[in-house]
Amino acid sequence: MFDTMVITKAVAAFCGALLVFLLGNWAANELYKPRNANAPQAFIIDTGDDDAAAEPVAELTFEEAWELADAGAGSRLWSQCRACHALEQGRNGVGPYLHGIVNRAIGEVAGFNYSGALAQAGDVWAPEVLSAFIQNPSGVAPGTSMNFRGIANVQDRANLIAYIESES
Who has greater pLDDT, 97 or 55?
97
Q: How far apart are CA 59 and CA 63, in angstroms?
A: 12
The whole-number pLDDT of residue 92 equals 86
| This model's pTM is above 0.85 | no
- Domain extent, residue 113, equals 62-167
DSSP string, 19-49: HHHHHHHHHHHHHT--TTTTSPPS-----SH
Would residue 76 count as lying in a domain? yes
Q: Which ranges of 38-114 would DSSP assign to H, the alpha helix?
A: 49-54, 62-67, 71-75, 78-82
User: For residue 53, what pLDDT band results from cuts at 50, 70 and 90?
Assistant: low
What integer is the mean pLDDT of 63-80? 87
Name the band, by pLDDT with cuts 50, 70 and 90, for residue 55: low
Q: Does any domain span residue 113?
A: yes
In a domain, 86, yes or no: yes
From CA 139, how far away is CA 141, in angstroms rounded? 6
Answer yes or no: is pLDDT of 100 > 70: yes
Domain count, the chain: 1
Indicate the helix (H) or strand (E) that contains 167. Answer: helix 154-167
Does 17 map to a domain? no
Give residue 51's pLDDT band: very low, low, confident or very high (50, 70, 90): low
Helix (H, G, I), strand (E, B) or coil at 64: helix
Rounded Cα distance, 51 and 48, in Å:
6
Query: Is residue 77 assigned to a domain?
Result: yes
Please provide the average confidence, as pLDDT, over all residues in the chain: 85
Q: Do 135 and 127 touch, CB atoms closer than 8 A? A: no
Nearest alpha carbon to residue 150 among 131, 137, 164, 163: 137
- Asked if residues 158 and 66 have their Cβ atoms less than 8 Å apart, the reply is yes
What CATH number is given to the structural domain containing 152? 1.10.760.10
SS3 of 124, please? strand
pLDDT at 163 over 60: yes
